[in-house]
Amino acid sequence: MKVAVFGASGLLGKALLREWHGDELFSFGSRHVDIRDASRVNKIVSETRPDWIVLAAAYTDVDGCETNRELAVAINRDGAANVARAASVSNSRLLFLSSDYVFDGSQQSPYETNAPRCPLGVYGASKADAEVLLLKIMPECCILRTSWLFGVDGRCFPDTILRLAESRPQLDVVDDQRGSPTYTVDLARAITRLCRKNASGIVHATNSGDCTWFEFAREIVSRAGLQVEVRPTTSAKMARPAARPVYSVLSPESLHKAGITLPAWQDALSRYIDERASHRGAA
């Protein structure tokens, strides 16, 4: 099987390249292609003729999207559509990475795949609009929603907490937003399996279990063996440009139907901390 990864230089893209074995991979980062450039996307897809395209390229700065709406839409919606059209022409299958931010967080139970989209901000809206557009272009595509992504290949919440803990005796972290942390290694393995199963439709994929950012931070500090006090605070006291869903836990039912179960986020966190220490030691 031939697989083209768009967004190969990102947090998930790098994990995909490391974890995907046994198939022929083509990797395209931002220096290779800007997905806003339809002609360039078409050229790459027509030359490689992949069986699957994994579209992980996106503008993911949630706060930045609020002040750069045109850029967010151009990349996350229109750029995704460019890739979908090229995939359709080449008869390639497409897996598109989406987000829990397509929901407003008003539920109190895990979101199923058929829950109404109701984004709070520009980032979520650009992803929600992309989902709708891609399903029109390629009804058989696979839309994979995930949340709270972390890994060793770039900026992420655990890395920020561990770096701050090196210089601060106390950390204040919001305790009124709940979701499911997701390790790039586990997500990459799930994506590999979904492609090999010729998955289609909307799938939710996160590590199992859920927590608040405060509970996540407390576990990070504890598992790293650091003596830092982590204190709960509110979103109102830590105001950000973009509103965050207060509850964005995604139901794993769709993933389980595909025969895939991801480990608990606590297990994933332990492996991340070990991997991070190994990377830093090798640097």
Residue 72: per-residue pLDDT: 98
Is the pLDDT at 23 greater than 60, yes or no? yes
Q: How confident is the model at residue 278 (pLDDT cuts 50, 70, 90)?
A: confident
Residue 281: per-residue pLDDT: 62
Q: How confident is the model at residue 194 (pLDDT cuts 50, 70, 90)?
A: very high
Catalytic site positions: 123
Domain that holds residue 100: 2-155+184-207+249-263
Any domain includes 216: no
Give me the number of domains the chain comprises. Answer: 1
Dihedral sign of CA atoms 118, 141, 182, 239 in order: negative
Is the pLDDT at 283 greater than 60, yes or no? no
Residue 239: per-residue pLDDT: 83
Q: Is 226 exposed, middle or buried (0-12, 13-18, 19+ CB in 10 A)?
A: middle
Structure tokens at 253: 């039912």
What CATH number does residue 123 fall under? 3.40.50.720
Any domain includes 9: yes
Residue 85: per-residue pLDDT: 98
Any domain includes 143: yes
Residue 234: per-residue pLDDT: 96
Q: The whole model's pTM is what?
A: 0.96
For residues 55-67, give the mean pLDDT.
Answer: 96
Any domain includes 281: no
Any domain includes 24: yes
Is the pLDDT at 3 greater than 70, yes or no? yes
First to last CA, the chain: 34
Any domain includes 71: yes
Any domain includes 198: yes
Any domain includes 148: yes
Is the model more confident about 17 or about 283?
17
Helix (H, G, I), strand (E, B) or coil at 12: helix
Residue 126: per-residue pLDDT: 98
For residues 151-157, give the mean pLDDT.
Answer: 94
